[in-house]
A and B are shown apart, each in its own frame.
Chain A
Amino acid sequence: MRKSISIPLGSQHIALLEPVRFRFETQNETITNVEADVGYVHRGVERACTSHFEFKQVPTVVARVCGLCAITHSLSYTLAVEQIISVEISSRAQYLRTLMVELDRLHSHLLCLAHTAENAGFEALFMQIMGERELIMGLQEQITGNRVQFDFVTIGGVNRDIDSQIAKTILDGLETFEPRLEEIRELFENNWSLSLKYKGVGAISKENAAKLNALGPLARAAGLRTDVRAEQSVLPYSEIGFEMVVAQGGDIYARNHVRLLEMHQSIKMVRNILEALPEGEILSKVRGKPEGEALIRLEAPRGELFYYVKGNKSTTLERMRIKTPTFSGIPAMVEIFKGQEYGDVPAILASFDPCMSCTAK
């Protein structure tokens, strides 16, 4: 009988950004079974939103669910409430919201790539990518006045407008950033030592990805054509030239490839937004209290983000439910780990881009 050894990873581990616990059953360093526990940073956000805070304050509360996709969280919530109380949002506000979502995707993907590089043992590349990421965060700070917690989206529109000077800064910033991104892409695609850690490691087949409900870059890297941006009509993605990025293979290399190409896409979309930014008010008057329920799906950097909001015509919501991409992706992640070497776990884990504070909320 072969002996099986159980190795815990987490809840605190050098390769982890946030607390999550895995228990790997291994035979000769090969993983045979995985157990995942994600509830280490539970803060009771959903309950707080339905008890302590009024519905107009909730955008700032849900923005604090996650520091990386803060804008997607508050945007999903506001879209849901706007759907319930039927507010007409000006197209300028929707364009500005989309602009921030795409800039957010840029810096979130950069963080993921940096950590994938670091966990594969390439710390110089980690430093380089984090340095480039600062540029995008600087642009976001210019637009919203803060580096991480933007508090930009509000029910009825957005809080701040951009002028031609900021638009120019963004375009100049992207002009500087694009050749650097190209350099990073070349490293990820042609570096021989990185390919040893990435190619064929942590792969998932298209059938398994579909069966286990993979989403976001994880699914698109396996060849599955799934992206909420192509399926929704609230944000003007069809007008700003969105094209879905799909790769084949489903391994770490393919996931990095999808992220790098998506960043090129995002840069293109940001340019299109600034070029075609319509004139108009940025904030519409909001009257009434939410009565009824709404569902909103939005493509966060990690995949589909889902919000359910129910109001009963009072200032406090009756029910709110957040389903985050990392949580929905757990079955696929567990499947990918099976059959892999234990030494590859940190790199595979980083390539999922897991967000625990989102998942545990």
Chain B
Amino acid sequence: MLKAIKNAFCNLTKPPLTHAYPAAPIEKPKDYRGLIGYNAQHCIFCDKCEKTCPPGAILFSWALDGSKTYHYNPYLCIYCGDCVRACPKIGEALWQSETKAMPALKVDVPNDGWDKLEKSVEESKLAYKDHKAAQKKAKTTP
């Protein structure tokens, strides 16, 4: 009890325990789990990251010629790193950076924009399938 009273008085002169954020940045530990980085030049488009991502934050839209485009939603990502571990070219095509995600702004259209993209990706995959089927049919029928 006496010690507690002594501590209470000592605490008056102690510096605060809290961080001086935003005046000073918060220290991040080594290997902090941040945003996922991607390089299309090294990607082999195996879609493993898309399949393994728990929240579905990575999507590939398909063009009719079979080429794919990578889409990433930093606001949906949970930074678990499962995509990076599934990637056959870790560090070249896909890597986990130590950059923290910025808060989503209205101009980013974080919800509706991604919902629209999800739909268009789904449609692009179907369109590619139909296109392939039509090509196959055209080949087989003389």
Question: Footprint of B on A, CB under 8 Å?
Answer: 53, 56-57, 60-61, 124, 131, 134, 138, 141-142, 144-146, 149, 151, 154, 159-160, 183, 186-187, 190-192
- Which chain A residues lie closer than 8 Å to B17 at the CB level? 131, 134
Contacts of A149 in B (CB 8 A): 78, 80
The CA-CA distance from A38 to B107 in the complex, in Å, is 39
Bound state CA distance, A141 and B3, in angstroms?
Answer: 32
A146 touches B82 (CB 8 A): no
The one of A53, A138, A159, A187 that contacts B54, using a Cβ cutoff of 8 Å? A53
User: From A139, which residue of chain B is reached at the shortest CB distance?
Assistant: B29
User: Could you tell me if B85 and A192 are in contact, using CB atoms closer than 8 angstroms?
Assistant: no
Main secondary structure of the interface of A (DSSP, over half): helix
Contact present for B8 and A60 (CB under 8 Å): no
If A57-B54, A191-B1 are given as contacts, then 17 extra A-B residue pairs at C-beta distance below 8 Å, sorted by A number, are: A57-B82, A60-B54, A131-B17, A142-B29, A145-B29, A145-B32, A145-B33, A146-B32, A149-B78, A151-B33, A151-B79, A160-B31, A183-B3, A186-B3, A186-B4, A191-B4, A192-B1
Q: Contact: B29 with A151, CB < 8 Å?
A: no
Ordered by A's residue number, 13 sampled pairs between the chains whose C-beta atoms are within 8 Å are A57-B82, A134-B17, A138-B29, A142-B30, A144-B33, A145-B29, A146-B32, A151-B33, A151-B78, A154-B82, A159-B85, A183-B7, A191-B4
If over half of B's interface residues share one DSSP class (helix, strand or loop), that class is named, otherwise mixed; here it is: loop
List, in ascending order, chain B residues with CB within 8 A of A60's CB.
54, 78, 80, 82
Return B35 CB to nearest CB of chain A, in Å: 13
Q: In the complex, what's the smallest C-beta–C-beta distance from A353 to chain B, in angstroms? A: 23
Instruction: Flag B45-81 by CB within 8 Å of A: 1 or 0 each.
Output: 0000000101000000000000000000000001111
Name the residue of chain B whose CB is nearest to the CB of A140.
Answer: B29
| Contact among B4, B7, B80 for A151, CB-based, below 8 A | B80
Question: How distant is A16 from chain B, measured CB to nearest CB, in Å?
Answer: 25
A residues less than 8 Å from B32 (CB atoms)? 141, 145-146
Q: How large is the interface on B (under 10, 10 to 19, 20 to 34, 35 or more residues)?
A: 10 to 19
A contact residues around B79 at 8 Å (CB): 145-146, 151
> How far apart are the CA atoms of A141 and B80 in the complex, in Å?
13
Give A75 Cβ to nearest chain B Cβ, in Å: 15
Nearest B-chain residue to A144, judged by Cβ: B33
Inter-subunit contact B54/A141 (CB<8 Å)? no
- CB contacts (< 8 Å) of A186 on chain B: these are 3-4
Across the interface, do A190 and B52 meet the contact criterion of CB distance under 8 Å? Answer: no
A138–B17 Cα distance when bound, in Å, is 13
B72 → chain A closest CB, angstroms: 17
Q: Which residues of B are found within 8 Å of A191, using beta-carbon distances?
A: 1, 4
A61 touches B54 (CB 8 A): yes
Residues of A within 8 A of B1 (CB): 190-192
Give min CB distance, B14 to chain A, whole Å.
Answer: 11
Smallest CB-CB separation from B19: which chain A residue?
A134
CB contacts (< 8 Å) of A187 on chain B: these are 4
Q: How far is the CA of A6 from the CA of B79 in the complex (A)?
A: 47
- Taking a contact as CB atoms under 8 Å apart, the answer to whether A57 and B81 are in contact is no
A186 to chain B, nearest CB (A): 7
Tell me if B31 and A57 are in contact (CB < 8 A).
no
* Chain B window 1-12, contacts with chain A (Cβ cutoff 8 Å), 1 for yes, 0 for no: 101100110000
Q: For the complex, give the distance between the alpha carbons of A191 and B3 in Å.
A: 10
| Closest partner residue, chain B, to A131 (CB atom) | B17
Measured in the bound complex, the distance between the Cα atoms of B4 and A42 in whole Å is 42
Q: Which residue from chain A places its CB closest to the CB of B27 in the assembled complex?
A: A138
Chain A: minimal CB distance from B63 (Å): 27
A159–B4 touching, CB < 8 Å: no
B81 touches A159 (CB 8 A): yes
Bound CA span A191–B5, Å = 11
Residue numbers in A under 8 Å from B54 (CB-CB): 53, 57, 60-61
Tell me, in angstroms, the Cα distance from A160 to B52 when the chains sit together. Answer: 18
A154 and B84 CA atoms in complex are apart in Å by: 14
Cα of A307 to Cα of B30 in the assembled complex, Å: 34
Expressed in whole angstroms, the Cα–Cα distance for A127 and B7 within the complex equals 14
In the complex, the answer to whether B8 meets A124 with C-beta atoms within 8 Å is yes
B7's nearest neighbour on chain A, judged by CB, is A183
Contact partner, A146, options B7, B30, B33, Cβ 8 Å: B33
A203 to B82, CA, bound (A): 47
Least CB separation from B8: chain A residue = A124
A131 to B81, CA, bound (A): 30
Nearest B residue to A132 by beta-carbon distance? B17
